[in-house]
Structure 1
Amino acid sequence: MGSLQEMQKILRKKDDRIKELERLLRVKDDELMELRTKLDKFQSVLPTQPMAISGAARKRLRAQGISAEPQASRTVQEITKQQFKKYVKSRSAKECIKMAILDNDFMKNLELSQIQEIVEIMYPVEHPKDSCIIKEGDVGSLVYVIEEGKVEVTKEGKFLCTMGRSKVFGELAILYNCTRTATVKAITHTKLWAIDRPCFQAIMMKTGLIRQAEYVELLKNVPTFKDLPEEALNKIADILEEAYYDEGECIISQGARGDTFYIINKGKCNVTQRGSGHGDSKFTKTLNRGDFFGERALHGEDHIEPLKSEDIRQASVIASDKGGVSCLLIDRESFLQVASTVDGLSAKGDADRDNIRNAVDSEFADIKVSDLKIVATLGVGGFGRVELVNIRGDNVRTFALKQLKKKHIVETRQQEHIMSEKRIMSEARCDFIVRCYRTFKDSKYLYMLLEVCLGGELWTILRDRGSFDDNTTRFYTACCLEALSYLHSKGIVYRDLKPENILLDNRGYAKLVDFGFAKKIGFGRKTWTFCGTPEYVAPEIILNKGHDLSADYWSLGILMYELLTGSPPFSGADPMKTYNLILKGMDMVEFPRKMTRNAINMIKRLCKDNPTERLGYQKNGIKDIQKHKWFEGFNWDGLRKKTVTPPIIPSVRSPTDTANFDDYPEDDEPPPPDDHTGWDREF
C-alpha cells in the first residue's frame, strides 16, 4: 500500500514539474517572439545581401510563375458601388487589428485608408483549443489577425514558433491562389478576425481606381490638360504628388520663382497680391477644391532665362482652412516628359489598330495535330509539356509543340491568360520573340505550334556557368529590350521576364517565349491581376496598386542583376519573405564589388519603387535605356540586322539535336479528363 502512495506522490511531482516546464516554455516562447520582432525591425533598416546559399538553392529548380485569378474589367462606378459588410467591433478589437497590420512586414505598406477599411470589414472567427486553423498544403484565401489566444506554427512537422495577440498570419493567400506553406494550430481557445482575397483585392483596386478617376476629373478643369487624350490624363494623374498645408501656411509667395503647378484637392486657400509699389498685400479671392494655380510655371523657360514672367509668381496663396489644405502637385519637368509622349500614344494606338494580322500562317493552315510527330521533350511544366516535333513528310524542319491540359487551366482559372497568350503570340512579328505558327485543340489539350530554338534556355547556361560578364549580360539584356520595345509599342505588358523564359536560337540570339502572363492593356492604363515570378515582381504588383508597362522595366533590372551575379537580388525562404524584401527596395541591396558602376546605376534606375521614375518610362521611353552609359558603344543596328556576333554560340548539329536541353522522363501520366465547356472556342 505504501509503495502505491509513494508512486502517486512521485507522479504528482512529475505532473507539477511538467506544468512548471510548460509554463517556462510559454515564457521562453514569449521572449522568442519579442526577440524575433526586434530582429525584424533591425533587419528592416539594414541592407540586404543575397545569400550565396539561397541563390544556389534557387538555381537547382526553375523559378515558377504565379498568377491570381484575372481581375474582371470593371468601371469606377461599379467598383464604387461595391459594398462590403462591416462587422461591429470594440475599440480594443479595432486597435488590435490595426496594430497587427502595422507590425506586419507586408501589410504595413498599405495606405491608412485601406487599413481602416480592412479593420471595418474583417469578420470574427473562433477556434477551440487544439483545432487546426490552417493546414500545410491546403489551398487558402483568408488572412487572420489574432485578438485572443495563442497559435503554434509548424512546417513539415517541425515547430517554428508560437504567436499571440496582434499578430497576422496567412497573408500570402490574399495575394493569389496558393497552398499554405505551414500549419497553424490553436494551442488555446483563439479569437480571430479574417478577410478573404476577393474582398482584400477589391479594396486595393477600389482605392487606386477611385483616386485616379478623381484626379483625372480635376485635371479636366485645367485649360492646359482639358484637351489631352484619356491615356495622357491617366499618366499625369499617376505622377501627381499630394502635399498637405496647415492653416496659415504660405504655399507660394508673390515674386518667388517656381516650376510647380497646384490643384486644390481638399480645403480652401486665400490669394493675396501686392501692388507695384510693394505695399501691403491685399486679399483678392478664395480658391476652393478643384481650383488651381501656378499653371504658367509649367510652360516656363529653362534656367537660361531665369527671369521670364512665367517663372515669377504673380500672387501669394495661403492655406486658409482650419482642417488644413491638400494640394496635388506636378512640376515642369514631369509635365514636359508626359506631354512629349502624348502624340506618340495616339500614333501607337492607330498603328496597332491597323496591324491586326491573320492568326494563322497560310503555310500551316491545313496542318492537323495528327500530322505532327514527336521527336523529343524540350520542357515540362504545370500546365503540360513542350515537345520537339516535325511534320510528317518533312524531315528538314522541326518545331516546338506546347501542349496544355485544359483541365489544369480551368482548375487554376487561367482561361483568360491562355486566350491572351494565343492572341499575342499569333500576332507577334518580332525577331526577338518566338513565333507561333498555328494553334490546335481537342477535348483534353490545347496546342501551340511554335518556332523552335535549339540553343537552349538561357537559364540552363546561367546555371552551368554561374554568372555572366558585362558584355554577355549586355547582349542578352539588349535582345530582351528589343522584344519589350516591340510589345510596349502595341500596349502589351509581358510580366514574366526571367532567364527561364529566354531561349537561344541556333546562332545564339535570344528570344522571349511563354506569354501566359502577357496582356494587352493599351497606353496610360493599368491592370490589377497579381502575376509574375516572385523574385521578379514589381512592388506595385505586390501591393495591388495596379501596374502598367513600367513593371517590365523593373523586371529588366532584376534580370540584369541575376545574369551578372547568378542569383536575383531579392530571394527569401518563401514567397512572402521575398515580397517583403522587394518592398524594402533596391537601395537596401548590397551590390557585389565586381559589378561595374554603370551596371549598378542602370539597375537602380530601372528598379525605382515609383513606376513613373523608372528608366524607360520617362520622356524618351526605351531610348533612355539604350543611351545609358552601360550600353555605350553597343551596336544596336547590328543587333537588329543580326550582324553582331553573340557572346555564346550554341552547338546545334541538326534540326533534331536537343543536347542543349535537360533530359526529361517520358510522359507516363494518364490522360486528363475531357473538357467540353467551350471556353476555348476561339483558340
Structure 2
Amino acid sequence: MDNKEYIRTKINPILEALVTKTLLAKPDDPIPFMVEWLIQEGKVELPEMVQLRHEVEQLRGQLRLAHTSGAVAPVPAGEGAEEEEEEEDEDDEDDEVDELPELPSMEARMKAMPRTSVSAEAFGAWNKKKAFEAPVYNKSSEQFARLKDILSNSFLFSALNEKEQKTVIFAMQEKVIEAKERPIKQGDDGDCLYVIESGVLDCYKKFDGETEEKLVKTCEVGDVFGELALLYNVPRAASVEARERCVVWMLDRESFNAIVKDAAAKKREMHERFLGSVPLLENMDSYERNKIADALKTETFRDGEYIVKQGDPGDKFYLLEEGEAVALKVFVEGQEEKQVMAYKAGDYFGELALLRNEPRAASVVAKGDTQCGVLDRASFKRLLGPLEQILSRASQRYE
C-alpha cells in the first residue's frame, strides 16, 4: 500500500470524524478535546497515552482552579455587577467544554459516515504541491465593481489583499440558475461556492429521523453559499433551490484553496509575528496572541485619510501594523486640530472610546500608506479584557 492509498483508507476517515466532532463541540481549546477524543475512540492505553491523559486532566484542574480563584483575569475593585455576571457566564461556558460527550465507537462512526473528500490535504516529497494558475473569466467594469464590493464585505474573503481579490474575481464564472433548479443537493460533494448576482435562493435541510425538508435559510443578492463544503471538506449540509431565475458567480475548489485558504494562512502567520513584537501584549502567551491573530481584520488607509474622527462613535480598536499615523485633537470648537500623539508600527489606538463608551476623543490620520489590524468591540472585550487596567492608565495620553 503506497502513501496516498494509506492516507485515503486509514488516515482520512479518522481525520474526518475528528474534525466533524470538534466543529460540533467548538471547544475553546481544541487540542485537549481532540486528544481525549482520539484516546476514547481508539481505546489507546499505551503508557504515553495514559500519561498524556493524566496531564490533560491536571491542566483542566488548574484552569478550573485559576478561574475559581480569579487568577486568570482579576477584576479590579469597583467593577460593576454586570461585568461579574458576564465573567461568570463565560466561566460556565468554559466548564461545559470539560464534560466531553459520550461518543460511539470508531467502527460504528465509520459505518455511519458517508464517504467524503480529503479533509486536510498533505504535501510532501510524494505529493508535491503544483503551481497554480487561476482561470480568467472576463467581466465588465460594473460586474467587477459589484463583486469587489461583495468580497470586501464578506468575512470569508477578508484576508485577501487587492491583488488576490482581483484574481478571485476574475476566476469566478457566471452561471444562470432557472427557477426550481438546485445547484446544491444535500449529501453531495462540494466542488465550488457561489456568490449571488441576482435572484433569491432557498436552503432546505432534511434532518435525521424526518421525511420532509425544512426551510432553514434564504439567500439573496450579495450572499455567499456553498462555502462550508470547501472550508471543511464535508458533504453539502443542505440543498439550495432557486426561487426564481438567478444569476450567480461560481468559484471552483482549486481556486478557493490556492487563493483564499492560502491567503488566510499567510495572514494569520503575519499577524502572529506582528503581535509578538507589540509591547502591550508581551505578557500574553502565544496561545492568547494566536486568538487575537484569528480575530484581527486588516484595513488599509491612504496618506492623509482619517482612520477615526473625533466625536464619532467608537466601535473598533486598532493595532498599527505598517506605516505611521498621528492623533489630532480639537480642544476648543472652531480652532484648528493639534497633534497630540504620533504612532509607529506596533502602537495601538481607539481603545478609549471602547473603554468608556464615549465618542472618539481624537482623530487619527494616516501618514503615508498605512495598514492596521482591527478588533471590533466584542472581540476587544473578550480578548483584551485582562489588559483593561493598562489600557485605562494609558488613555490619559489624550488628555
Q: Whose helix fraction is larger, Structure 1's or Structure 2's?
A: 2
TM-score, normalising length: structure 1:
0.24
TM-score, normalising length: structure 2:
0.36
Rg (Cα) greater in structure: 1
